[in-house]
Chains A and B, each alone.
Chain A
């Protein structure tokens, strides 16, 4: 069965510090991968998605970047965090199954920028 991992689970970082959040998927090959952010009291906003190694699409211009160095690894980064980067970050994956794609989410990382 497929499993998705995210770490760290929680993170407190000062403004201006760098960021690296990691997401890995097990039990599947060549998944589509996604990064979403959930601000307090809001729905999820798509940040990036990737259909393959080195292929990244950005949905929202911002202070963040993403990379996919391996098939089942997706990394979210920032060189200098802003207060507005605080939120709950969710990684998701999808593959074609029974004629459709459904997205499944990881446990998330709660980021607080102080």
Chain B
């Protein structure tokens, strides 16, 4: 079974600084997707960024970028120019690419990100 591990229960960063959240995963599959979701206090899960395993290029969405190391099974999220609105729980998630697209997500336990003003 696939597992996703987030080893940082909590991280703190000064506003406008850069922070990196870590995620490792375990799978025997070669085709899969990785995601970072943000869960603010409202508890709404918001998709931040997606990475396809077959793509070597790291995904980027504005201030959010990932460092995807397939051989090491590592998928970290870098947030640049941190803003107060970035404060939230961040979850790393994995989805197998079975072709049908119905596979559910496997989540890590999350990292609580605190932004210091």
- Chain A interface (Cβ < 8 Å from any Cβ of B): 32, 34, 36, 41-46, 49, 51, 57, 59, 88, 90, 92, 94, 96, 100-105, 107-108, 110
Decide: A43 and B101 in contact? CB cutoff 8 A: no
Decide: A49 and B109 in contact? CB cutoff 8 A: no
Q: How distant is the Cα of A42 from the Cα of B39 in the complex, in angstroms? A: 12
A44 touching B102 in the complex, CB below 8 Å, given contacts A105-B44, A107-B44: no
Q: How distant is the Cα of A103 from the Cα of B101 in the complex, in angstroms? A: 10
A44 touching B105 in the complex, CB below 8 Å, given contacts A105-B44, A105-B45, A107-B44: yes
* Residues of chain A contacted by B37 (CB below 8 angstroms): 105
Q: List 23 A-B contacts (CB under 8 A).
A: A32-B102, A41-B109, A42-B109, A42-B110, A44-B93, A44-B107, A49-B102, A49-B103, A49-B104, A51-B100, A57-B102, A88-B43, A96-B101, A100-B33, A100-B101, A101-B95, A101-B101, A102-B47, A102-B50, A105-B44, A107-B42, A107-B43, A110-B43
What is the 8 Å Cβ interface bit string for chain B, positions 98-117, against chain A (1 contact, 0 not)?
Answer: 00111111111110000000
Q: Point out which of A57, A88, A105 has the most chain B C-beta atoms below 10 A from its C-beta.
A: A105
* Residues of chain A contacted by B100 (CB below 8 angstroms): 51
A59 touching B104 in the complex, CB below 8 Å, given contacts A42-B109, A43-B110, A44-B91: yes
Nearest Cβ on chain A to B45's Cβ, whole angstroms = 4
How many residues of chain B get a CB closer than 8 Å to chain A's CBs?
Answer: 26
Q: How distant is the Cα of A45 from the Cα of B4 in the complex, in angstroms? A: 12
> 10 closest A-B pairs (Cβ-Cβ)?
A101-B101, A46-B104, A43-B107, A105-B45, A44-B107, A43-B109, A32-B102, A51-B102, A49-B104, A108-B43
8 more CB-based (< 8 A) A-B contacts, given A36-B104, A43-B91, A51-B100: A32-B102, A49-B104, A92-B45, A100-B33, A100-B52, A100-B101, A107-B44, A108-B44
A46 touching B101 in the complex, CB below 8 Å, given contacts A104-B47, A105-B45: no
Closest B-chain residue to A103, C-beta based?
Answer: B105
* Residues of chain B contacted by A36 (CB below 8 angstroms): 104-105
